[in-house]
Structures are given as C-alpha cells and as structure tokens.
C-alpha cells in the first residue's frame, strides 16, 4: 500500500505530478488554507504532510496524533510555525527547503534597498493616482531620495543569503560590514569588515539588512535601543523574519524621522501586519514575496517532494530542519 500524503497548499505542478507517481496523494486543489482544527483532525489519516508557512502545526496538533504520521516536509526555510520539540517527542521528521531560495531572497533585499532609498513607493503612488501633473517641478525637492552607491551596508547574519546580498551590493560600490555570531574565513568575508558587537556596528550603517532565522536570540534584535544607535539617514531592511524587529520601536523611529526609511518583506503576525506600516510614506512594504519566482518555488516544491520520497525509500534526507544560523 502506498503511503498517504496530504499537501496542505498548492505546490508546483511538476512537483505534484512527481508525488502522485509514488504516493497516495490528497492535494489541496482549491488552495484554501486548512483551518487548524481540521488539520489536527486530518493528521491521523496520513503518513506524511507537505506544509507551508500558512499552516500552524503546534503542540496541540502533535498531542492528538496516533502514531501514523512519520514526516512533515515543509516548503520554506523558516519553520517557526512548526513545534519542532513536539515533533521530536513523537519521533516525526521535519524537513525544510534551504539554499534553493537564497538568490531570490537576495534579489528582493536589493529591491528593498533601492525602493526605500529612492522613495519608489511614493513615486509609484503619485503616478498611479494621476497626481504627478499637480506637482511643482522643483529640482531640489521633488521625489529627492538618497543614493545607494558608495554607502555602507551593515548585514546582520552573514550566512548564505547575507553573502549573496553583500556580493550584489558591491556592484553599487557599497562598503560591506557585518555582525555574525562567528567571524567568517577571509575568503567568505570577501573584504567585508567583521563586528563582534552589534551595537558597535549599527552607528556605521547607512543601510542595515537582517538575514537571521527566527530564534529566541534574534527576537527583536532591532529594538528601541539598537534602532537608536542608527544614524538618522539610515534605512532598515528585513527579508528574514518579522520577529527580528520590534514593530513599535521601528514605527516610532519612522514616524518621528529618527531614521530615513525602511524596506520590509516580512512582518509579525503575517498577513495581519501592523497597519501603521501601510500609512508611512517612508516605509516600502511587500507581502513576503522573497522567494516568489517561478524557478525558486519549483525548486522548493521539488525539494519537499524529494524529502518525502527519500524518507519512504530509506534514503538520506536532502534537508532535515536545517537552519542558517548567525
């Protein structure tokens, strides 16, 4: 009898077809979120799950399992929506999809750097509202932003994504400095300057970009105290996890012009972000699209399916809850 696999959200067509060849599969053809209570009830009917960040797979889910479920293949790098400790107690494997989205997230980071510094959101809204024609052609004031070229980019978390961002930023002549749990080897640093103390790095940043996982150590790593160390022309960029920023502190800094701006792709309590962000002209926001390219989503889906295949065929897993730590 083929193992039964539940796919909680739509994944790439090619990945679904590959999965159906090997397993008894229940696909979510409507791509509607499965309510947590329903997911808990369904957990005992399947040998494996393929989940996304929209699914809340917490302690209650695991406490109701009867032993049938053996693996959860998560489509995404971060898996803070899954109770890993509870999964370990039940001896359920949890895998994720690291590395295949590094370039896409780095591209989104550069997009945010440019958009936030050059006031792209304001400019876009001005044209779309047909209000451009009502503006005075003042060469010293109209949509004046800040240049990126030659500025200093501080990276919090110099893992794989952080290093790709650094490499891309150098195309603009940016100086790279970084804070990391450990100093990188000279070849991986590639000319970047290491800071062992975050508080010492932040005053040097024209831009600061977060590239850490969501852990107790990184929760609110940018807070009132650390944001207060940034120059008033600084721009905060986040494509990692919303929990790394204290919303009240960042919004206060933006509202009171303590910093120049922010570019954010991730938020606390997604998709129900703090709506004060959407009212700020100096905050460029995206709906967590860091990995949203055809190529990346296909690769993520395929890796999740391959992990399911490897598990049930007694082969080494491609990834098993791999985090990229700072």
pLDDT band at 262; cut points 50, 70, 90:
very high
Over range 1-16, report the average pLDDT.
95
User: What is the DSSP annotation of 220-269?
Assistant: TSB-HHHHTTS-TT-EEEE-S-GGGB-HHHHHHHHHTTSSSEEEES--TT
Q: Which fold has domain 4-100+293-312?
A: Rossmann fold (3.40.50)
The reply to whether 102-285 shares the fold of 4-100+293-312 is: yes
Residue 85, SS3 per DSSP: helix
Query: Mean pLDDT, the chain, as a whole number?
Result: 94
pLDDT band at 323; cut points 50, 70, 90:
very low
Please tell me the pTM assigned to this model.
0.91
85 bridge partner residues: none
Note the pLDDT tens digit of each residue in 133-161: 999 888 888 999 999 999 999 999 999 99
User: Catalytic residues, which ones?
Assistant: 241, 270, 288
Q: How far apart are CA 287 and CA 272, in angstroms?
A: 10
CATH number of 102-285: 3.40.50.720
Q: How far apart are CA 155 and CA 140, in angstroms?
A: 31
Longest dimension (CA), the chain: 73
Q: How far apart are CA 236 and CA 259, in angstroms?
A: 8
Q: Domain segments of the chain: what residues? A: 4-100+293-312, 102-285
Q: What pLDDT does 325 receive?
A: 36
Integer CA distances (angstroms), 227 to 190, 196, 258, 262, in order: 27, 17, 9, 12
**Sequence-separated (6 or more) residues with CB below 8 Å from residue 249:** 220, 222, 223, 224, 227
């Amino acid at each position: 009898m083929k193992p039964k696999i539940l796919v909680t959200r739509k994944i790439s067509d090619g990945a679904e077809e590959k999965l159906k060849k090997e397993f008894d599969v229940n696909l979510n053809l409507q791509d509607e979120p499965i309510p947590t209570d329903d997911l808990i009830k369904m957990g005992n009917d399947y040998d494996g799950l393929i989940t996304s960040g929209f699914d809340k797979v917490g302690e209650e889910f695991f406490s109701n399992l009867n032993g049938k479920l053996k693996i959860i293949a998560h489509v995404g790098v971060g898996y803070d929506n899954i109770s890993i400790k509870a999964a370990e107690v039940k001896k359920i494997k949890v895998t994720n999809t690291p590395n295949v989205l590094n370039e896409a997230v780095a591209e989104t980071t550069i997009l945010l750097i440019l958009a936030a510094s050059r006031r792209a959101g304001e400019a876009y809204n001005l044209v779309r509202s047909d209000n451009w024609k009502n503006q005075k052609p003042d060469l010293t004031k109209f949509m004046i932003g800040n240049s990126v070229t030659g500025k200093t980019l501080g990276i919090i978390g110099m893992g794989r994504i952080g290093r790709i961002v650094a490499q891309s930023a150098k195309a603009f002549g940016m100086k790279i400095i970084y804070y990391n749990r450990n100093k990188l080897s000279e070849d991986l640093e590639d000319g970047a300057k290491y800071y062992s103390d975050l508080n010492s790095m932040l005053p040097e940043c024209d831009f600061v970009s977060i590239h850490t996982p969501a852990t107790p150590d990184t929760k609110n790593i940018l807070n009132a105290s650390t944001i207060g160390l940034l120059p008033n022309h600084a721009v905060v960029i986040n494509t990692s996890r919303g929990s790394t920023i204290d919303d009240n502190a960042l919004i206060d800094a933006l509202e009171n012009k303590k910093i120049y701006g922010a570019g954010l792709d991730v938020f606390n309590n997604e998709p129900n972000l703090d709506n004060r962000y959407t009212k700020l002209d100096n905050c460029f926001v995206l709906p967590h699209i860091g990995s949203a390219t055809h190529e990346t989503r296909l690769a993520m889906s395929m890796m999740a399916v391959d992990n399911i295949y490897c598990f049930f065929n007694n082969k080494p897993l491609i990834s098993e809850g791999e985090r990229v730590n700072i």
